[in-house]
């Protein structure tokens, strides 16, 4: 009898210990109120900075959103995309999907500096990026959602993982489904998140093959894009075009409407509506913007849960500047290059008689804002990714 009682007590003790360990795990998970006491003004601080950046240059909203995508798809949402190369690892900034195209590092740096003044050593760069991505969508007219926070920052990064994990602009539907499934996202999540291409721009190198070789494309749309994206490789490679030809500076469901009329800019866009399994989802989002907004917000929350560092893992980076010096140089040089390209596009659009191009010209005048900064090295390669420029993932 005594033996049975002793056994029961031991079982109870072990159970309580296991429950205690489980509770520690739960406490280490992300929550929406993680900083409510330690940094109560965090959300307003980030929001103010993002509004200022996007109001100065609308395209910056897409660029920040892209940074978050590229961060989460490479070993989780841990801020590793913000890390420079070191003697111990080669980082993600010079991976093909990011090289000379990932931008917005200076905005994240400015936000981090402001947050550090209010709450020194408390908030991770990974969380700042997650919040800034949400605020970028909201500023451009998209849905709002409660961002879960509590992430810690990575101490390392992987260029190889960035090169292999981020989908390409030439991806087939099955490849997209597989890439998203690999990080725990469903096919519906993939289509909803692809809707982020309702904002931002992409380079000629990303869509040249589509506008000259593919048949599932609106003829007038292809002709318009060909005006600033010549067939010959090396000619106009860096010229930009809006991912959403209708409302490139507004977060809405026109991206899906464009797909239904075969005006998807990238191959990996149009495969979502090409007689395949995702046609019905695209059609639904095209007809019901509320459904798209709801699913996009849910998918962003789900993506933000990909392998975060919590508890004692990682670190809280106190100063972002030492880690993204090279990225900021690229930011500035990239802006100089885009300023030159914009002048080319202005001229081409002014000479075009297409109403679509006329609308794009007016959009471009109000949308583009670049500063004269450091010289751009013409030997740099601009890569070929979905998020190159503002293509969300790399596709």
Is 380 among the annotated ligand-binding positions? no
Is 97 among the annotated ligand-binding positions? no
Is 269 among the annotated ligand-binding positions? no
| β-pair partners for 315 | 153
State yes or no: is 70 an active-site residue: yes
* Distance separating alpha carbons of residues 113 and 228, to the nearest angstrom: 39
Residue indicated by tokens 């699913």: 295
Is 78 among the annotated ligand-binding positions? yes
Is 197 among the annotated ligand-binding positions? yes
Among 70, 267, 334, 384, which one carries the catalytic annotation? 70
* Distance separating alpha carbons of residues 257 and 132, to the nearest angstrom: 27
* Distance separating alpha carbons of residues 212 and 227, to the nearest angstrom: 11
Is 357 among the annotated ligand-binding positions? no
Is 86 among the annotated ligand-binding positions? no
Is 390 among the annotated ligand-binding positions? no
Is 80 among the annotated ligand-binding positions? yes
Is 169 among the annotated ligand-binding positions? no
Residue 325 CB neighbour total at 10 angstroms: 13
Is 167 among the annotated ligand-binding positions? yes
Residue 308 CB neighbour total at 10 angstroms: 25
Is 334 among the annotated ligand-binding positions? no
Enumerate the known binding-site residues for substrate.
Answer: 167
Enumerate the known binding-site residues for Ca(2+).
Answer: 71, 74, 76, 78, 80, 92, 198, 244, 247, 252
Enumerate the known binding-site residues for heme b.
Answer: 197
Enumerate the active-site residues: 70
Enumerate the known binding-site residues.
Answer: 71, 74, 76, 78, 80, 92, 167, 197-198, 244, 247, 252
């Amino acid at each position: 009898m005594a033996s049975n009682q002793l056994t029961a007590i031991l079982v109870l003790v072990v159970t309580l210990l296991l429950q205690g360990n489980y509770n520690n795990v739960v406490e280490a998970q992300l929550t929406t109120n993680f900083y409510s006491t330690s940094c109560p003004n965090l959300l307003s601080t980030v929001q103010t900075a993002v509004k200022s950046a996007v109001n100065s240059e609308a395209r910056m909203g897409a660029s920040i959103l892209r940074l978050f995508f590229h961060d989460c798809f490479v070993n989780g949402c841990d801020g590793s995309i913000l890390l420079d190369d070191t003697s111990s690892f080669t980082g993600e900034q010079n991976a093909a999907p990011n090289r000379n195209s990932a931008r917005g590092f200076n905005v994240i740096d400015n936000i981090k500096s402001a947050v550090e003044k209010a709450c020194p050593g408390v908030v991770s760069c990974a969380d700042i990026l997650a919040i800034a991505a949400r605020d970028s969508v909201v500023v451009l007219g998209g849905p709002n959602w409660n961002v879960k926070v509590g992430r810690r920052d990575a101490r390392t990064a992987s260029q190889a993982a960035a090169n292999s994990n981020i989908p390409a602009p030439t991806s087939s539907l099955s490849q997209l489904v597989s890439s998203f499934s690999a990080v725990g996202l469903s096919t519906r999540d993939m289509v909803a998140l692809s809707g982020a291409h309702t904002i931002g721009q992409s380079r000629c190198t990303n869509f040249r093959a589509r506008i000259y070789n593919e048949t599932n494309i609106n003829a007038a749309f292809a002709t318009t894009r060909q005006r600033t994206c010549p067939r010959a490789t090396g000619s106009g490679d860096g010229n930009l075009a809006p991912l959403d030809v209708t409302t490139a500076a507004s977060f809405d469901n026109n991206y899906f409407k464009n797909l239904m009329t075969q005006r998807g800019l990238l191959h990996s866009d149009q495969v979502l509506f090409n007689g395949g399994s995702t046609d019905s989802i695209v059609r639904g989002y095209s007809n019901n913007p509320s459904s798209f907004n709801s699913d996009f917000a849910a998918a962003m929350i789900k993506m933000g849960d990909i392998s975060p560092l919590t508890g004692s893992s990682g670190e809280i980076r106190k100063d972002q500047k030492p880690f993204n010096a090279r990225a900021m140089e690229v930011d500035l040089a990239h802006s100089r290059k885009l300023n030159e390209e914009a002048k080319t596009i202005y001229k081409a659009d002014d000479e075009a008689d297409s109403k679509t191009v006329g609308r794009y010209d007016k959009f471009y005048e109000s949308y583009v804002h670049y500063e004269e900064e450091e010289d751009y090295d013409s030997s740099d390669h601009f890569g070929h990714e979905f998020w190159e420029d503002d293509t969300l993932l790399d596709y």
